[in-house]
Every structure is written in structure tokens, then in C-alpha cells.
Structure 1
Amino acid sequence: MSSDQSKTQNGSEQKKSSSDSTQTSISKKTENITPEFEGSLINQLVTRFGDKLVQVIYVRPGRTKILVPPNEIVQVASFIKDRLGFDHAESVSGTDYPNDNQIEVIYHLSSYSDDKLSSQILALSTRVDRNESRMPTLINIFRSAEYHERETFEMLGVYFEGHPRNERFLLPEDWADIPPLRKEFRIKGR
């Protein structure tokens, strides 16, 4: 997808002409296709961050995904926790996209303290360059992301700036091969 395109909540592509038209378009689609609760979350994010959001996708009831640039992820994550009430990172996952030369890192956020949010998952994602796969850590916002970020570091090679322990804990200390969840990794003997 080119940088001048955005996906709306229903997954259809649209051209972005300005932040106002993007916000209006997202707001209209939110009112028409998403449940009220998810629509409210999306509208709050769009109102606060506008064009800083690369994608906003309503996936299904209880599931919303947003994609932000790596340099905006800390600010957006802070807003999600402090203003929207998502207080917990359930998991952090990653996907290697070698054809795009990118790795996507996804934080699956929910809440232990708010009953309304406990059935919601907000997927906060960003994409980093495969060759310079660095991004800020979110453990100062979501403490539960510590081991998940370590696993993502180890398995995909994403370095989390500010993380106190970007080090091995699953693979052998002497692991000298490429990260095993990168697409070019091959199991020896197969």
C-alpha cells in the first residue's frame, strides 16, 4: 500500500487528500459500520491523532487495529492507556514482510481494571525497516510487554530502544544465525 493511501475500518482503500477529509471519511464510516463502542474509540483516536494514524481498521466486534509510525507509537500508546483506559498489553507479536522490507510489531491491548474494556482488544501496530529494525520500547507504559518485547527482539531481530534487557532468553546464548521468525530463516537439514 502506498503512503498516500489509507485503509478505513472496513478494509477498503481510499486516497487521503487532507487530514480533514480523512477524519470526516473515517468518522462517517465509523457511524455506519462499527458498533457504537468501537466507533467511539476510533473517533477519539482520529480526533486526537489525525494523519499520524496510518490505518484505522474495525476488524470485528471487540477488535480494532491501528497502525502508527514508529516515532509516534509512544505518544499514541500513552493516550490509549491514560485516556482510553487500556491498561494491559496481553501480547506483542510480529510479522516479517520481506517484500516490503518491513517488520510489523503489534501490541494487543486490553484492560484488567475496566469491565467494559476487558472484552475489547485494541491492536496497536507499527512497521519498522527490516535492515534498521529499531523502535522505542513500550514497557514504561505497559510493563507487561517486557518479556514479549524480548521475544520479538530475539525471534525477529527488532531492537527496542530503552528496553533494559534486549538479550537472549529463549535461544541459546551462542545463537549465530538470523532471527528464526524472519522469512529467510531455514531449518538446517530441510
Structure 2
Amino acid sequence: SQTTNILQCGVLGSIISIPENYNYSMIIFYSSKGINEGIREWGKTMQQAYNRTNQYRLNDLTINYLGYYTDNGAYYYYNTEKEINYEETLINIYHQIRLPFHYIQLDSWWYYKGLKDGVSQWTARPDIFPDGLEIVHRRLENLPLAAHNRYWSYDTIYKQNYSFALDKQTEKALPIGNDSFWIDLF
């Protein structure tokens, strides 16, 4: 609380009952070494507590190497070079900019959106990539692509073949069940 200088943790006091064998744990962390070192120390503490390593972080291309981004705030966010499509724009960028970027990020402009701008179909739109994403990838000399994805729309085409929790109120969907949806998607 900012008014009483009290930190309160745990199960909310208004909870009437707690299931048998309920387990609750937390880590409160403080560092006098500044915010950056504090975050590093907290991360190490969390890794130890949950028996995790840096394996994924150390191998993540998007964390360890320079990439070319087309997301919100970038020049090519929902914007292409004059009188050409995204396909040609990205290929021009790749061949003309002499920077050692190791991947290109494709933001939300490349796939189909449905209700509330959620993802209805996570495939390349032909007006964006007329030759298809695979051809573009080859023309980019197989440079890795970091492809944006947001929440799934209530009207996603994938609900026809996979289990989704559908929320009519928010018009959003969430894939549930086994991992077959994600395996097939990639």
C-alpha cells in the first residue's frame, strides 16, 4: 500500500475456503545494487527456485543478435516503400542496408485478422506477400523470420479443427488441450 507502507502477500483475506493440499509460495527480493543488477539477481534466484537454466535465453536469436524490426514505431510498420508491396520492400531492405542483422521481424501487418483485430488465420496474406512467405524467405537467403502473433480471434479458422476456449464477450479465443495445434501451426 502506498499510503500505509505495508506490503501484503498471500491468499486474499475474503477467501472463504482453501482446497486441501493447497500450496502457496513466493519470493520477495531486494537488491541494494541498482535495478539492473537487482533484476539479474532476482532472475538467478528464480532459476534456482524453479530449477531452470539460461539455455533458452542463450540460444534465442532475437535476444542475442541484431534484427530488423517492422513493429509499432518502426518506419515500415503498416508502411511500405512507395508503390511496392511488403514483399519487395523487405527484399530491398535486406539487400540495400549494410547492417549485420540476423533476422527480420514481421509485425501484425502480414496475417489475417478477425474480430477485435485478433488473429483469424496465421498465414501470409497474398496482398502482402504475392509470391508467398516461403519464396520471400528464400529471396531473403533463408534469413530467419520472427513472426508476430497476438491473441486469437473468436472467429479464427483454427477452431474448426482444434479445441479453443471461446469468449463471446471479448470475442477472443484461446487454444486448449494438447500441443497438436502449436505443432501443426509451425
TM-score of Structure 1 vs Structure 2, range by shorter chain: under 0.3
Larger Rg computed on CA atoms: 2
Structure holding more strand per residue: 1
So what's the TM-score if we normalise by structure 2? 0.26
So what's the TM-score if we normalise by structure 1? 0.25
